[in-house]
Amino acid sequence: MPDVAAIADAMRGHRTLVVTGAGISTTAGVPDYRGTPDRRSVEYEDFVLHEIWYRYLWWRNEMSWTLLRQVAPTAGHRALARLEEAGPVIGIATQNVDGLHTLAGSRQVAELHGTFDAVVCLHCGARFTRSRMSEMIRDLNPGLDFPAPPLAELEIIAAKDEESAQLNPIEVPPCPHCDGMLKPDVVLFGEPLPKAPVRAASALAGACDVVLTVGTSLDVSTGMWVVMQAMESGARLVVVNRGPSQADRLADLVVDGGADDVLPGLADVLLGDAP
């Protein structure tokens, strides 16, 4: 069990904020990329200004949501929920939008890039569940097939495919409150981060004694910003990741390992279920 005792020693008696990335969800089958390597994803400006990409993103989103809702939390997600319930973990700031932390039972979760399980109106600000949006889409498009791709090809943010976009037959329902434009509540490229999760992550960073990063190289600046906020408030840094991360040089402890390899044993040690 890779360096679990050392991580437990760093956390014992302290308040820990956990920063997670795609690596905690890969064993559930969720790919660790947004879009595909050889194509640009649909960006915020594309979505709001061009109907072809607005409709295409919703078509792809409906297929991806149908698939993602079947994914279960990993042992790593469940271990963090145990640690939060017992007290050593005060909260999670995640770069993921898959909702698996909440599904596992974690309560204090700052979803920095939004959540795949919600929809927001860009006009009146109304928010509602993704399942309701799915019902609205299918009611408006009777008989239209939404074939789910293999899980390995899941696109959290749809990659641009102009040929498919031109052939896309979907009609997108308007906001049921104001007839405004609806958007999946995930952060598209070119869109600002949601204020409430950023405020929550900042508060957690200021309140923690240890910041533990799990399953992220911290190449995305959002996670690194949270880490730096915590360290500037005096927190020690522990890194758990397969391969190097941008924060290794700043860390008090670096553990090369996967979330499912490390976190369940860590929870056992800290909660007294194992020697």
Q: What is the pLDDT of residues 176-185, one digit of tens each?
A: 999 999 999 9
pLDDT score at 153: 80
- Cβ within 8 Å of residue 43, ≥6 positions away: 188, 189, 190
Going from the C-alpha of 121 to that of each of 44, 175, 177, 179, 181, the distances in angstroms are: 14, 6, 9, 9, 6
pLDDT at 35: 42
Residue 117 · residue 66 · CB < 8 Å? no
What CATH topology corresponds to 4-270? Rossmann fold (3.40.50)
Q: What pLDDT does 145 receive?
A: 87
Distance CA 66, CA 59 (A): 11
Give the global pTM.
0.94
Structure confidence at residue 154 (pLDDT): 83
pLDDT on residue 238: 98
The burial class, CB within 10 Å (0-12 / 13-18 / 19+), for 268 is middle
pLDDT, mean of each 10-residue run, the chain (275 residues): 87 97 94 61 96 96 91 97 97 97 98 96 97 97 87 85 92 97 96 96 98 95 96 98 96 96 97 70
The predicted pLDDT at position 32 comes to 73
Report the distance separating Cα 252 and Cα 34, nearest Å: 30
Among candidate residues 101, 113, 123, 177, the one labeled active-site is 113
- Please give the pLDDT value at position 34: 46
For residue 113, indicate whether it is catalytic.
Answer: yes
**At 192, which amino acid appears?**
P
For the chain, the DSSP string reads: -TTHHHHHHHHTTS-EEEEE-GGGTGGGT--SSSSBTTBPBPPHHHHHH-HHHHHHHHHHHHHHHHHHTTPPP-HHHHHHHHHHHHSSEEEEEES--S-HHHHHT--SEEETTEEEEEEEETTT--EEEHHHHHHHHHHHSTT---PPPPGGG--SSPBP-HHHHHH----PPPPTTTS--EEEEEPPTTSPPPHHHHHHHHHHHHH-SEEEEES----SHHHHHHHHHHHHTT-EEEEEESS--TTGGG-SEEEE--HHHHHHHHHHHHTTS--
What does the pLDDT read at residue 157?
Answer: 86
- Edge-first strand order for the sheet with 109-111 is 109-111, 89-94, 16-20, 210-214, 236-241, 253-256
**Strand ranges of the sheet holding 127-129, from the earlier edge strand across to the other edge:** 127-129, 114-121, 182-186
pLDDT of res. 150: 85
